[in-house]
Structure 1
Amino acid sequence: MTSIIESVYLNHIQLYFSINPDSLHKPLILYLHGGPGDSCIPLTQKFNASLEEHFNFINLEQRGAGLSYYKFSAHRPPRIATFIEDIHSFVEYLLKRFNQERLILIGHSWGSVLGMLFIQRYPQLIAQYIGVGQVINMRHNLQLQVQFLKQQGVKLKKLDLKHNLISDSLYLTKKIVQQQGSLYGKTNYAMLIKPFLTAKAYPLTALINRLRGSQQSIKFLWPELMQINFETVQHYSVPVCFVEGRHDHHVAATLVQDYVHTLDQSVPLIWFEKSGHFPQWEQPQQFNQTITQLCL
């Protein structure tokens, strides 16, 4: 089975997504990509296509990102709340279209921020939430990134995260990648770039727009993202599960490990021993089997 690209006009923008429109009666999975702005349809089509055997797997390219790119207004840029309302409108569109009451939500990295906020606001629409590379506390994560790099013997430049938040955060991420803390056993993102170069959905203009979308999303959303902290949330009204790469120092998996012990409900934490921040693409066969077992 192969998903196709469709679009729908919601909240004054055209949103693009991958979907198998013939999977009328299968459970719906909505995948929220990372970033902000890191659209990834070619990656889920390559690595996660087997999920379409059991689910209608839908990957939404969020506003301003990838195929859904448009130039943000500097005077009225979107906020995190804007994305939550986009997802709400899109979820209602999917549920109505396929005559279902709830869907399964998977959020990765930045998408896990959106996912956790969404299930708190609209739990009645969600059958299950799965956080991958789950964000818990962004400020604490920065501290753990610095700690990991120093343990690796990396000499860091003088950081000023108060005045140079975006540039210094991106600098730390680059160093994390080089130290195999993002993709386990790899010092670059080559394996995540190649599928875009051969994707039919991504001609040259789309590749350029993906880069533009990523840049503008970081510029306008990063400061707000840095304020995210879920540590005070002790209960969720939907079933929750976390899927983590054992070697994730990009978004420190240890924060998730500590967090699950503070919750007043049982939340499974599933480890991928040969993954960093991207278990869905580093160990795709195991990931797809895990999602199938969790959700069927």
Structure 2
Amino acid sequence: MENQFYNIRNEKEMYINEQSKIELNGKKQYVSIRAEKENLPLLLYLHGGPGDSALPLVLKYNKELESHFTVVVWEQRGAGKSYYDFKNSEITIDIFLEDIYKLSKLLTERFNQKKLYILGHSWGSVLGLKFIRKHPEMVIKYIGCGQVVNMRKSCKDAYDYALTHADEKTKEKLKKIDCAYVGDDWLKDLLYVTKQVVKYKGSLYGKTNYNSLVTPFLFSKYYSVPDLYKRQKGSLQSIKYLWQELMKVNFENLVKYEVPVIFIEGEHDRHVSSKLVKDYFDTIETDKQFFLFEKSCHFPQWSENKKFNELIIDLCK
């Protein structure tokens, strides 16, 4: 295991900074491991998308977590610094779950720990909930942020939000869109609806665009210009290959988990409905907690990062 990671250690500050590509189920994938000291519990961050890598954002907004956890940010297969062309590949959610299992085993063995914490955002929250059902023995607690519950219902909610806030010209265009996203132009339609949700401040709190989420990538020492290009390609191809399967995701009938489940939601999230998450949370019959961030939409971990970091640290003591 030690040979799969490239170590950068500052002995004076006693931190761990391991940036490397490791092989997970036949594909080299980029993994960042950072901690201010050794022997901290493992926290694995599952980014959104599909394909929306997040390393510079986690480093910028969630660095405080490194004083309490060994923070692992995995750039998922085909995304960001783990980009490769999916052409002629079979890409399914199950493959990502296999990657998480392999990575979790490598991490727990490497750091001599039995289990880890998992933090899943958006698409990553789909992977997270599915993973704890499949491998509860690997996880201490699961934290879902921008949690997906029923993807079809969330898409309908996002579409209705865009339609309600749109001007007349945009409304006419939206009325021609099927938010089930099964037609020939489903990808174009999806991107258009998402753009409207962002424009009308339903995705990033108080913002009409994602510029503030792009800037950290431009100035990250871990992202080269080719990496930025690959990130864009990786995001688009991941949506193309995985969206139809994602639309079938529905956790509503799954109300018992063997792992404590924590949801942290932005009150104003209309990108992936936070109301659906609360309704679902109320039906869960096992160990659970729910937190609502009043000044957030889909990204509470970055819109209210200080509050978010403090909560994660407190929840995982």
Distance change (3 Å), C-alpha of 1:275 and 1:3 = farther
Answer with 10-19 or 165-174: which moved more: 165-174
Q: Does the aligned pair in 1 maintain the 2:57–2:213 contact within 8 Å? A: yes
Residue 162 (1) aligns with residue 182 (2): yes
Q: By how many angstroms is 1:236 displaced?
A: 0.6
Q: By how many angstroms is 1:151 displaced?
A: 2.8
1:113 to 126, 151, 157: 126
User: Which residue is equivalent to 2:216?
Assistant: 195
Q: Does the aligned pair in 1 maintain the 2:202–2:297 contact within 8 Å? A: yes
User: Which residue is equivalent to 1:53?
Assistant: 67
Deviations 1:18-51 (CA, angstroms, capped at 9, x unpaired): 1127743101000000000001100000110010
Q: Which has the higher contact order (CA 8 A, sep 6+)?
A: 1
Deviations 1:149-173 (CA, angstroms, capped at 9, x unpaired): 2332441521133313322222111
User: Which residue is equivalent to 1:142?
Assistant: 155
What TM-score comes out, normalization by structure 1 length?
0.96
Q: What aligned pairs does 1:32-71 form with structure 2 within 5 A after superposition?
A: 32-71=46-85
Q: What aligned pairs does 1:231-270 form with structure 2 within 5 A after superposition?
A: 231-270=252-291
Q: Give the distance between the partners of 1:81 and 1:24, measured in 2 at CA.
A: 32
Q: Does the aligned pair in 2 maintain the 1:30–1:60 contact within 8 Å? A: yes
SS at match of 1:20: strand
Where do 5+ consecutive residues of structure 1 fail to align? none
Q: Does the aligned pair in 2 maintain the 1:165–1:223 contact within 8 Å? A: no
Q: By how many angstroms is 1:269 displaced?
A: 1.1
Q: Does the aligned pair in 1 maintain the 2:259–2:287 contact within 8 Å? A: no
Residue 182 (1) aligns with residue 203 (2): yes
SS at match of 1:70: coil
Residue 207 (1) aligns with residue 228 (2): yes
Q: Give the distance between the partners of 2:59 and 2:157, measured in 1 at CA.
A: 32
Rg larger for: 2
Distance change (3 Å), C-alpha of 1:170 and 1:153 = closer
Q: Give the distance between the partners of 2:187 and 2:18, measured in 1 at CA.
A: 35
Residue 222 (1) aligns with residue 243 (2): yes
Q: Does the aligned pair in 2 maintain the 1:4–1:20 contact within 8 Å? A: yes
Q: Give the distance between the partners of 2:118 and 2:249, measured in 1 at CA.
A: 19
Q: By how many angstroms is 1:111 displaced?
A: 0.2
Q: Give the distance between the partners of 1:22 and 1:13, measured in 2 at CA.
A: 29
Amino acid at match of 1:52: E
Q: Give the distance between the partners of 2:206 and 2:67, measured in 1 at CA.
A: 30
Q: Give the distance between the partners of 1:22 and 1:291, measured in 2 at CA.
A: 16
Q: By how many angstroms is 1:121 displaced?
A: 0.1
Q: Give the distance between the partners of 1:251 and 1:191, measured in 2 at CA.
A: 20
Residue 14 (1) aligns with residue 32 (2): no
2:140 to 127, 147, 151: 127
Q: Give the distance between the partners of 1:82 and 1:137, measured in 2 at CA.
A: 21
Q: Does the aligned pair in 2 maintain the 1:129–1:240 contact within 8 Å? A: yes
User: Which residue is equivalent to 1:83?
Assistant: 96
Q: Give the distance between the partners of 1:21 and 1:294, measured in 2 at CA.
A: 18
Identity score, percent: 47
SS at match of 2:89: coil
Q: Does the aligned pair in 2 maintain the 1:243–1:269 contact within 8 Å? A: yes
Compute the RMSD of aligned alpha carbons.
Answer: 1.4
Q: By how many angstroms is 1:3 displaced?
A: 4.0
Deviations 1:172-220 (CA, angstroms, capped at 9, x unpaired): 1110000000001100001100000010110101001111111110110
SS at match of 1:243: strand
Amino acid at match of 2:109: K
2:109 to 96, 99, 123: 96
Q: Does the aligned pair in 2 maintain the 1:3–1:45 contact within 8 Å? A: no
Distance change (3 Å), C-alpha of 1:156 and 1:231 = farther
SS at match of 2:113: coil
Where do 5+ consecutive residues of structure 2 fail to align? 1-14
Q: Does the aligned pair in 2 maintain the 1:145–1:250 contact within 8 Å? A: yes
SS at match of 1:268: strand
Distance change (3 Å), C-alpha of 1:42 and 1:156 = farther
Distance change (3 Å), C-alpha of 1:77 and 1:147 = same
Q: Does the aligned pair in 2 maintain the 1:2–1:49 contact within 8 Å? A: no
